[in-house]
Amino acid sequence: MENVGPMLDPTRDPFGKYNGKEAGYVLRMLSGEDAGGGRSWTQALEEKFCEKVGAQYAIACNSGTSGLHAAMYAAGVGPGDEVIGPGLTVVMDSYAAVHLGGVPVFADVIAGTHAIDPKDIKRKITPRTKAIITVSLQGLPVDIDPIMEIARQHKLIVVDDSAQTLMGRYKGKVAGTQAHIGVYSFENKKHMTCGSEGGMIVSDDADLATRARKFAGIGYRHMTATAGRTHLAMSTVQDPDYLRFDTIGLNYRMNEVSAAVGLAQLERIEATVARRRKVAAMFLEAVAGCSWMVPQTVSADVVHSYYTFAVDYRGLDSRGVAWKDFYNRYLAKGGDGFYGACKNPYLEPAFRGKEYAGYRLEPGLCPVAEALQKRIMQFKTNYRDLDEARGKTRILAALIDEIGR
- Residues designated as active site: 190
Residue 143 to residue 136: CA distance in whole angstroms: 9
Contact 289, 75 (CB under 8 A): no
CB 144 within 8 A of CB 121: no
223-224 and 82-86 as β-strands: parallel, antiparallel, unpaired? Answer: unpaired
Q: Where are the beta strands (DSSP E) in 103-259?
A: 103-107, 129-135, 157-161, 169-170, 173-174, 181-185, 199-203, 223-224, 228-229
Please list, in sequence order, all residues whose beta carbon lies within 8 angstroms of the beta carbon of residue 346, skipping any fewer than 6 positions away: 87, 94, 104, 106, 352, 361, 362, 365
How close are the terminal C-alpha atoms of the chain, in Å? Answer: 53
- List, in sequence order, every beta strand (DSSP E) within 242-363: 293-295, 302-303, 308-313, 355-356, 359-360
Please tell me the distance from the alpha carbon of residue 370 to that of residue 364, in angstroms, as a whole number: 8
C-alpha span between 216 and 213 (Å, rounded): 5
Phi, psi at 63, each rounded to 5°: -165, 165
Q: How far apart are alpha carbons 331 and 341 in whole angstroms?
A: 18
Distances in Å between the Cα of 109 and the Cα atoms of 37, 195, 241, 365 are 47, 33, 53, 11
Q: Write 151-154 long-range contacts (CB < 8 A, 24+).
A: 151/180, 154/125, 154/129
Q: What are phi and psi of 305, to 5 degrees?
A: -100, 0
Beta-carbon-side half-sphere exposure of residue 280 (alpha carbons within 13 Å): 22
- Residues 166 and 186 sit within 8 Å (Cβ to Cβ): no
Euclidean distance between CA atoms 69 and 85, whole angstroms:
14
